[in-house]
Amino acid sequence: MAQLNENYLKLQGSYLFSTIAKRVAAFKEQNPGKSVISLGIGDVSRPLVPAVVEALKKACDEMGNINTFRGYGPEQGYAFLREAILKHDYLSRCIKLSADEIFVSDGAKSDVANFQELFSPLETVALQNPVYPVYLDTNVMAGRTEEFSNGRYGGVVYLPCTEENNFTPALPDKPADLVYLCSPNNPTGTAMTRAELKKWVDWAVENHSIILYDSAYEAYITQADVPHSIYEIPGAEKVAVEFRSFSKTAGFTGTRCAYTVVPKGVEIFDANGSAHPLNALWLRRQTTKFNGVPYIVQRGAEAVFSPDGQAQIKEVISGYQANARVILNALKGAGIQAFGGINAPYIWLKTPNGLDSWTFFDKLLQEAQVVGTPGIGFGSCGEGYFRLTAFNTPELTKQAADRVSALKF
């Protein structure tokens, strides 16, 4: 008799964004004449930039020619892309890494979810609250949590991110083996300064812990004291794995390409206390379970780092940043307290008049036909908050902002 991995039964309901999609679909069916604007799921609206499209087309032609056709590629990614990433993202910032510490994949979400496979089910996990659901849910699936009660899983070290601490997590007051950090943060839109991140790196070095650092939104950073990479902090190369993505940087949400950096100095210990480099273990995992990102896609990603590609994606990112300012100004004009939107494409607002997150979601949908994400979907500390994204078009973002600011509370 086949038996279930019963950890899946601990998961709470359906995935957050599928629940939202169902509610929106029901509203549209009941109100066919109303135009709904989404500032909810973090999908982009601008198309791939010309430099990327041209590279994709050229690669397609190569794949149709017997002399330039390619079959299976290296699981870690083609050297041309890893070298481009290394040069642009790390060597340019005086970060000493090598190309074989970079792993190209089909998405940061996949890598964040899969990386926990390398660790013992007995590891204690710490994560921000509110938090991107994938960090928590994949550890629930792996059996690193106890039962769910009062909005939390037993066995997890929660790091509250609240208005009182500027949505920056304090160091844990109990032991933790693995720590998930996201900066600039999804969902709060806030980012850790160099000094704040240094505290985490120093703590991880002292406690032999590992930081799983999601920097998918680093391209949106505008403030000088916010690091673009955790490896800007001395010592991080011994305790941190960094996840990055082309999705929100270059519009690859449907094209799928990302990369994870695993320095050779990051080690994990077996039951006997012997050290093992995570780099070699992740390479072994990838070569077993992953056949690599398509050559065509990797050529498109490489074009992101070309002079034309950089100019074009910076223009796109600037447009999304302008959207964030439009939303922030509209909320401020309506007397709604809001955070983020400066170093990230997310705005984290405090629901007016003490409304709970789902009640605010329904009010926004019913009265303004605007879709956002209830904060409670990101964890217990998200209750009373709400996330809006800056990824829609400028025209629809302005319309949505006007609708929200016109609401009566």
pTM of this prediction exceeds 0.85: yes
Strand (E) or helix (H) holding 321: helix 307-333
Instruction: Estimate to the nearest angstrom the gap between the alpha carbon of 312 and the chain centroid.
Output: 22
E-strand ranges in 57-147 read 102-105, 125-129
Number of domains forming the structure of the chain = 2
Clarify whether residues 214 and 285 are in a common domain: yes
User: Is position 246 within any domain?
Assistant: yes
Residues 290, 352 within the same domain: no
Helix axes 394-405, 307-333, angle to 10 degrees: 10
- Identify whether residues 176 and 267 lie together within a single domain: yes
In a domain, residue 1? The reply is: no
Q: pLDDT tens track of the chain, all 409 residues?
A: 999 999 999 998 767 788 888 999 999 999 998 999 999 878 999 999 999 999 999 999 999 999 999 999 999 999 999 999 999 999 999 999 999 999 999 999 999 999 999 999 999 999 999 999 999 999 999 999 999 998 899 999 999 999 999 999 999 999 999 999 999 999 999 999 999 999 999 999 999 999 999 999 999 999 999 999 999 999 999 999 999 999 999 999 999 999 999 999 999 999 999 999 999 999 999 999 999 999 999 999 999 999 999 999 999 999 999 999 999 999 999 999 999 999 999 999 999 999 999 999 999 999 999 999 999 999 999 999 999 999 999 999 999 999 999 998 7
Residue 353 lies in a domain: yes
Q: Are residues 380 and 300 in the same domain?
A: no
Query: Exposure of 64 by Cβ count < 10 A (0-12 exposed, 13-18 middle, 19+ buried)?
Result: exposed
> Does 224 lie in the same domain as 94?
yes
Is 91 in the same domain as 158? yes
User: 181 near 213, Cβ under 8 Å?
Assistant: yes
pLDDT of residue 227: 98
Residues 196 and 246 in one domain: yes
Two tokens, residue 303:
């074009």
Position 101, amino acid: E
Q: Do 79 and 87 form a contact (C-beta atoms < 8 A)?
A: no
pLDDT of 93 reads: 97
Please indicate, yes or no, whether residues 11 and 141 belong to a single structural domain of this protein: no
- 170: domain CATH number is 3.40.640.10
Could you tell me if 215 and 363 lie in one domain?
no
Residues 270 and 367 in one domain: no
- Please report which helix (H) or strand (E) contains residue 190, including its range: none
> Which letter, b or e, does each residue of 126-143 get, where b requires 16 or more Cβ atoms within 10 Å of its Cβ?
bbbbbbbbbbbbbbbbbe
pLDDT of amino acid 18: 82
Domain of 332 in residue numbering reads as: 6-47+308-405
Do residue 11 and residue 41 come from a single domain?
yes
User: What's the pLDDT at 12?
Assistant: 86
Tell me 294's DSSP state.
-
